[in-house]
């Protein structure tokens, strides 16, 4: 008699790289007889795949572990694991504070999960926050060819050598490492065979990729040659790694979508220097001009931190001026939060009320720019890759070339189709359109 499969629940915090990592963890544990469930209450193993970028990440983890403690009281056989960047930063401290945790594994060691699970089942506790010499992607099993949705993430580069003064990534993800192009192309072909038409290439500094001749532009060219792969994107980029070839690719490669997330963090040269960004506001603006010259319709997004230690009203005004000058399609903005172990954490912080006021002012400007960009789309045509049905009967949702969320009505099954549409209306975070092709 065949025993029932074990069930795995994964909660993913943070960035797209964590989404990709969670998928690979699920595939690795599939080889140990686990199938995924969307309910922690039904699981034999729970993995919390954590992010350490924002404030109180560890507190959020311990809050979730407190809720899981009750599940383990009801089911003593339940195994609980913490993975990702908080696992890397906290290590043994997690088990010390929360003895319900059975395993802790950093983002560079999750290929070892099957062996760790076996050790845990034998009654042990395991902590692995090494930066192993072996490449985890070499050891992980090939991606499943099971049918999947039309979009996918694909990690091509990990780690960071930039050491921005506010950021923990170099300490939790390690130095910059690029995967070999042939392995990325093989994985991409497998995704296309499984139904994927749109791939987003991931990296902490993805445009620092050097695993192919010609860097990221060379890799994009190799991927563009794959039949059935219709759209390519990449994120997240650093301004200092936008080389001439990659800028040119935005104008020359039709499969590379007209969308670019290019974080700048501040418009003040004084603050950029304090952040160790190694570029000026003027250099960033000149870079934007070159990118737009190559692809005039590109939609630009960015990241901003307000209230970085030492930021004055004049520094904040410089950020507002930069945002006005660029005209973003969207942006992510945050109040500065000190990350333990980073250089900026030792500096005096800006008053909390001042940070709140600056954030509201910046977000109002970004929201206005986003709405103006979306309103300008009304009456325009674009193509949409439809992904899934909407909430209403006959409604379908997908993403435009510029990564706008788009809804359209059709009696057809549009899943996985790229269709031409005309935009008819806008909402705060989406477009409404009609099919025209």
Residue 244 burial (CB < 10 Å; 0-12/13-18/19+)? exposed
CA distance linking residue 87 with residue 152, whole number of Å: 25
In contact, 44 and 6? CB cutoff 8 Å: yes
- The three-class DSSP label of residue 334 is strand
CA distance linking residue 321 with residue 328, whole number of Å: 12
Residue position matching structure tokens 């695993």: 211
Closest CA to 168 of 349, 366, 345: 345
> ω before 236 within 30° of 0 (cis)?
yes
CA distance linking residue 102 with residue 120, whole number of Å: 7
Residue 182 burial (CB < 10 Å; 0-12/13-18/19+)? exposed
CA distance linking residue 214 with residue 197, whole number of Å: 24
CA distance linking residue 208 with residue 173, whole number of Å: 15
Closest CA to 95 of 85, 103, 106, 83: 103
Question: CA triplet 426, 431, 432: central angle to 5 degrees?
Answer: 90
In order, the DSSP letters of 298-319 are -EEEEEEEES-TT--HHHHHHH
CA distance linking residue 243 with residue 236, whole number of Å: 15
- Nearest-Å Rg of the Cα atoms of the chain is 23
Tell me how far apart the terminal alpha carbons of the chain are, to the nearest angstrom: 53
**15 assigned to a ligand binding site:** yes
Q: At a CB cut-off of 8 Å and minimum separation 6, what does 188 contact? A: 154, 199, 223, 226, 229
CA distance linking residue 413 with residue 399, whole number of Å: 16
**172 assigned to a ligand binding site:** no
Question: Residue 36: what are its φ and ψ, rounded to 5°?
Answer: -80, 150
**235 assigned to a ligand binding site:** no
Residue position matching structure tokens 């009609």: 434
Residue positions in the annotated binding site for [4Fe-4S] cluster?
Answer: 15, 51, 85, 160, 164, 167
Residue positions in the annotated binding site?
Answer: 15, 51, 85, 160, 164, 167
């Amino acid at each position: 008699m065949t025993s029932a499969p074990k069930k795995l629940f994964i909660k993913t915090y943070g960035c797209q790289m964590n989404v990709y990592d969670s998928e690979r963890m699920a595939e690795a544990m599939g080889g140990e007889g686990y199938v995924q469930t969307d309910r922690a209450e039904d699981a034999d193993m729970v993995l919390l795949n954590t992010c350490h970028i924002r404030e109180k990440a560890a507190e959020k983890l311990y809050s979730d572990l407190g809720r899981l403690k009750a599940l383990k009281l009801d089911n003593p056989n339940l195994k609980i694991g913490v993975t990702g960047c908080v696992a890397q930063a906290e290590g043994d401290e997690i088990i010390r504070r929360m003895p319900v945790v059975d395993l802790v594994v950093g983002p560079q060691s999750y290929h070892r999960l099957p062996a760790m699970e076996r050790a845990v089942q034998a009654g042990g506790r395991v902590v692995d926050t090494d930066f192993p010499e072996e490449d985890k992607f070499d050891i992980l099993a090939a991606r499943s060819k099971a049918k999947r949705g039309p979009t996918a993430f694909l990690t091509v580069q990990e780690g960071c050598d930039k050491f921005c003064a506010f950021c923990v990534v170099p300490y939790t993800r390690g130095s910059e490492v690029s995967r070999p192009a042939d392995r990325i192309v093989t994985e991409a072909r497998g995704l296309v065979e499984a139904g994927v038409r749109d791939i987003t290439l991931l990296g902490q500094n993805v445009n620092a990729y050097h695993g192919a001749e010609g860097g990221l532009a060379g890799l994009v060219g190799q991927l563009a040659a794959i039949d059935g792969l219709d759209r390519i994107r990449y994120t997240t980029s650093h301004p200092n790694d936008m080389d001439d070839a990659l800028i040119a690719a935005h104008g020359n490669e039709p499969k590379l979508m007209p969308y670019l997330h290019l974080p700048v963090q501040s418009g003040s040269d004084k603050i950029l220097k304090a952040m160790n960004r190694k570029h000026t506001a003027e250099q960033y603006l000149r870079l934007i001009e070159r990118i737009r010259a190559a692809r005039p319709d590109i939609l630009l997004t960015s990241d901003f931190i307000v209230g970085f230690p030492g930021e004055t009203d004049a520094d904040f005004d410089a950020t507002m001026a930069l945002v006005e000058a660029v005209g973003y399609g969207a942006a992510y903005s945050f109040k500065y939060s000190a990350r333990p172990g980073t250089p900026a954490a030792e500096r005096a912080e800006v008053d909390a009320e001042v940070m709140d006021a600056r954030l509201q002012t910046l977000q109002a400007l970004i929201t206005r720019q986003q709405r103006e960009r979306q309103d300008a789309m009304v009456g325009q045509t674009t193509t949409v890759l439809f992904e899934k049905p909407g909430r209403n009967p006959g409604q379908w949702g997908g993403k435009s070339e510029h990564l706008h969320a788009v809804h359209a009505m059709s009696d057809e099954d549009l899943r996985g189709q790229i269709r031409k549409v005309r935009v008819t209306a806008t909402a705060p975070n989406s477009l409404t359109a009609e099919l025209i092709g």
